[in-house]
Amino acid sequence: MGLSFGNYDEICDTVALIVCPLLGSELGLEPKCYSRNVEINNTIIFQPATCFVHIAALIMTAIMIYHVRSKYTAVGRKEIVLFFYLYAVAEILAIFLDSAIIPTYSTAYAVFAAIYVGLGTAIYWCLLINGFVGFQFAEDGTPKSLWFLRISCVVLWLIGFLVALATFKSVGGLSPTKTVGLWVVQLLFPVVCVAIYVISQIILVLRTLDDRWPLGDITFGTLAFVAACVLMFGFSATICDKVKHYIDGTFFGTLCLLFAVMMTYKYWDSITKEDLEFSVGSKQSVWEVKDPLIGAGDVDVMGPASINTHESPFSGGHSSNRNNSPGRLAPGFGSKGSGYPPAGQYGGSTY
39, β-bridge pairs:
44
Label residue 334 left, alpha or beta by phi (over 0 means left) and psi (-120 to 50 means alpha).
left
Residue 329 has a pLDDT of 56
Where in the chain does DSSP place strands (E)?
A: 38-40, 43-45, 287-288, 301-302
What residues does CATH 1.20.1070.10 cover in the chain? 12-271
For residue 330, which of 204, 163, 183, 141 has the smallest C-alpha distance? 204
* The pLDDT value given to residue 330: 53
Q: Is the pLDDT of residue 293 over 70?
A: no
pTM, entire model? 0.77
pLDDT attached to residue 141: 77
**Among 264, 266, 325, 287, CA closest to 74:** 325
The pLDDT value given to residue 89: 96
Res. 43 pLDDT band, cuts 50 70 90:
confident
pLDDT of 216 above 50: yes
CB-count burial class (<10 Å; 0-12, 13-18, 19+) for 80: buried
Which pLDDT value is given to residue 38?
A: 82
CA distance linking residue 28 with residue 20, whole number of Å: 6
- DSSP per-residue letters across 48-85: HHHHHHHHHHHHHHHHHHHHHHH-TT-TTHHHHHHHHH
Asked if residues 193 and 124 have their Cβ atoms less than 8 Å apart, the reply is yes
Residue 135: pLDDT band (50, 70, 90) is confident
Does the structural domain 12-271 have CATH classification 1.20.1070.10?
yes
